[in-house]
Amino acid sequence: MPVITVIDYDMGNLHSVCKGLEKAGATTKITDSSAEIEQADAVVLPGVGAFDPAVQRLRSRDLVAPIKYAIESGKPCLGICVGLQVLFEGSEEGKEPGLGIVPGMVRRFRHEPGITIPHMGWNQLDLTQPHLPLWQNLPEQPWAYFVHSYYVDPANPEIRAATITHGSQRITAAIARDNLMAVQFHPEKSSIAGLQILSNFVAQVREKVPA
């Protein structure tokens, strides 16, 4: 059974993420140990809250290098919510530089009549990389659960794996590049579709792990 490390930096409900992964057949380990991150079969970087405290805590716990090593080593890596945003170069939410793993910035939604900020609740994904293994066995426009006021704006639009529409704004809801995948929504709160996404991630890990 694959061991998936869920990175602990006091920025998220780790246990609900672990529950979803375990339901999908994985063994999870919550840790802030660089050695355990290096030994894991796959890594999940969850996160809720603000950008600056998130990157500050990752740096204060010396977790940036292990995260970069995990991604560069080719093991499956999944970012969730703020765990997606910190991968970028910076955010309009704060002043701290991001991890810079993905070129681009985190932007704030534009105010316009009829939309709420934060964007909170269910929205339909437009799967722009429809053959991505993470999206296997999903309906054409699955529903996912969001809570955010900021969204990622990748420099390379080709890494967008899904988008959503909020008001007149079409924004990136997920990215995928080689072994790195990250989503703005919360799969652990996204009912059947969310559980399927986590199951797909676990299946990818199984393919990588020697029998």
Residues with catalytic function: 81, 186, 188
Q: Is 82 helix (H, G, I), strand (E, B) or coil?
A: helix
Which residues have CB under 8 Å from 6's CB, separation 6+? Answer: 14, 17, 18, 21, 28, 29, 30, 31, 44, 46
Q: Is 61 helix (H, G, I), strand (E, B) or coil?
A: coil
Determine the Cα–Cα distance for residues 15 and 18; give it in Å rounded to an integer.
5
Q: Is 99 helix (H, G, I), strand (E, B) or coil?
A: coil
Instruction: Please give the single-letter amino acid code of residue 91.
Output: S
- Other Cβ atoms less than 10 A from the Cβ of 170: the count is 11
| CA count, 13 A, side-chain hemisphere, 91 | 24
CB 99 within 8 A of CB 66: no
- Other Cβ atoms less than 10 A from the Cβ of 96: the count is 17
Determine the Cα–Cα distance for residues 165 and 122; give it in Å rounded to an integer.
11
